[in-house]
Chains A and B, each alone.
Chain A
Amino acid sequence: MGPSPAYSYSAQVAEVSVDEDPGEVTVHKVWAAHDCGRALNPVSVEGQIIGSVWMGMGQALTEEMVWKDGMLMNAGMLEYRSPSSVESPDVEPIIVESVDPEGPFGAKECSEGSLAATIPAISNAIYDAVGVRLHESPFTPERVLAALRAKTNANSLNMTDGVDPTSPVRFREHGGSLCFKGKGPDRHRLDAARRDTPALAGGSD
């Protein structure tokens, strides 16, 4: 993990339920195993694993920075939406000890290493539950619903129609900016953010 001299490994299993009408994902339980080298303080290691599941859940389900014309639209903890205690699932931390010869007293690390597994675990659990593959995190209700509608071909929720055509492709695909449609050249002529020429930066990426 990162610049540490040793590689730590983690594996997680997530139990989720998906409400198909709103596309809402609820995580019920996560089993999180982490190879941390020698656990110097096992209680602290467990705490780190639980914390990382929570952090990973934020990345998997809710947390996203939404940009529009260079403005961060959710510049605050209220709109950024980290999971609250209501969302926190049961976490069963499992410490897998291995002795690393390079680490201090045989330790590796335990913090962000175990967070990486939460996102694919939840994503796979959603696939297992409702059969849709989501290729973009966070798996917000609207993305899950759009994927479910696309799968069943039932009056699909069109999420790309009318998106600002001048916005950089990467931002356009970045789901957040999908909600700011019909802007760009259609803006009011006094709008400071109006662009009469195609965007230079990132226009074709």
Chain B
Amino acid sequence: MSLPQFKLLRPRAIEEAIGYLSRHAENVRVLAGGTDLIPSMRQKRFEPEYVLDLRSLHELSGIRGRENGAVEIGALTPLSTIEKSELLRQHYWVLTEAAATVASPVLRNMGTIGGNICLDTRCLWYNQSLTWRRGCGFCIKKDGDLCHVAPGGTKCWAAFSGDTPPALLCLNAEIEIIGPPGARRVPLSDFYTGDGFHYRNLHNNELVTRVLLPAESADYRGVYRKLRVRGSIDYPLAGVAVAMRRSNGKLLDARLAMTAVNPAPFLVQRAGEMLIGKAVDETLAEAVGDLAARTAKPLTTSALTPEYRKEMIRMFTKRAVLAAMNN
């Protein structure tokens, strides 16, 4: 599984990077940390003519607090920096907790927040070598025209497996996207499409450059719970993030987001409605867990059974709600 041949482009400014992207739109892949791109290229899932290495764009790295309390995170900030950032630990705990569960320390040193947001969707039938995929006649996400997970369907069900997006969704984060016409901001919840193939709303001449955490979301109590078989390295098989603000034992605001079960991470809107204004006890937490389990649609995209992952969404949600309430 050697790397295919490619030409490396190393822009020194964002405009230069956008220029390269526009010129080679169909034939370029973006490299930030490379923790997902390099294995993908070795497996011949991507065989681009050009690889655009963003690592010399230093202005896209770092965490900056604004005077109004909002926080701006550059897309190239390593996950380990986010995990250890004092500012984020104080005000946006759920994000640091989610960042700390990504893969292993080595991968967190390389992997970036932008890369985690743009992470390719994953599936047992897709994340395999070229020889393997040829053996099963390829799949709808790459080279083939049928889905082994949902045979007969035309939609790709590969699961989105990033850890930080559910935490960011709970914090109502926005992302800044720069393209040839200039910069635009979109709420993270509008970034994902829910389709495993076209999993994000990003043109191939655009870059995700910044993550913006609004001041209103600061100081939410939150937890992130992740299902994985090993305590390290593994992608999430189910993930639940909860963030809430409370006063006098009553909840003023609560948000619940999930990842790794559907082709997109998503907020469970009704969970917030169920929780707001209530005193949270075990029964209510259980009801929210039931709701979350009904919303999750895990399929056979990973080696654990969908039934089990669904059960774990129920259990993790209950535990996360109680933990967020009590911490």
Residues of A within 8 A of B (CB): 21-22, 62, 64, 66, 69, 71-76, 78-79, 81, 83-87, 140-142, 145, 157-159, 176, 178-181, 183, 186-188, 190-193
**Interface assignment of B227: CB less than 8 Å from any CB of chain A:** yes
Tell me if A191 and B146 are in contact (CB < 8 A). Answer: yes
Q: Which residue of A lies closest to B225 (CB)?
A: A22
Instruction: Pick from A76, A86, A87, A140: contact of B304, CB below 8 A.
Output: A140
B residues near A176, Cβ cutoff 8 Å: 303
Tell me if B305 and A179 are in contact (CB < 8 A). Answer: yes
**Interface assignment of B240: CB less than 8 Å from any CB of chain A:** no
Interface size on B, residues (CB 8 A): 34
Tell me if B303 and A66 are in contact (CB < 8 A). Answer: yes
Interface CB pairs A-B, < 8 A, 16: A22-B227, A22-B312, A66-B303, A72-B132, A73-B124, A73-B303, A74-B124, A74-B303, A84-B232, A84-B233, A142-B308, A157-B307, A157-B311, A158-B307, A190-B146, A192-B136
A residues near B231, Cβ cutoff 8 Å: 84, 86-87
Q: A21-B315, A84-B233 are in contact. Are A71 and B308 (CB under 8 A)?
A: no
Residues of B within 8 A of A (CB): 104, 124, 127-129, 132, 135-137, 145-146, 148, 151-152, 227, 229-235, 300, 302-308, 311-312, 315, 319
A residues near B146, Cβ cutoff 8 Å: 188, 190-191
Tell me if A193 and B305 are in contact (CB < 8 A). Answer: no
Tell me if B304 and A179 are in contact (CB < 8 A). Answer: yes
Where chain B touches its partner, the secondary structure class is loop
Tell me if B233 and A62 are in contact (CB < 8 A). Answer: no
Tell me the bound Cα distance from A79 to B39 in angstroms.
Answer: 14
Tell me if B315 and A22 are in contact (CB < 8 A). Answer: yes
Tell me the bound Cα distance from A158 to B308 in angstroms.
Answer: 10
Shortest beta-carbon contacts, A-B, top 9: A86-B231, A188-B151, A142-B308, A192-B137, A188-B152, A179-B305, A84-B232, A86-B232, A187-B151
Tell me if A75 and B229 are in contact (CB < 8 A). Answer: no
B residues near A186, Cβ cutoff 8 Å: 151
Q: Which residue of A lies closest to B307 (CB)?
A: A157
Tell me the bound Cα distance from A81 to B228 in angstroms.
Answer: 10
Tell me if B229 and A179 are in contact (CB < 8 A). Answer: no
Tell me if B303 and A181 are in contact (CB < 8 A). Answer: no
A residues near B303, Cβ cutoff 8 Å: 64, 66, 73-74, 79, 176, 179
Tell me the bound Cα distance from A148 to B199 in angstroms.
Answer: 37
Instruction: Pick from A72, A84, A191: contact of B104, CB below 8 A.
Output: A84
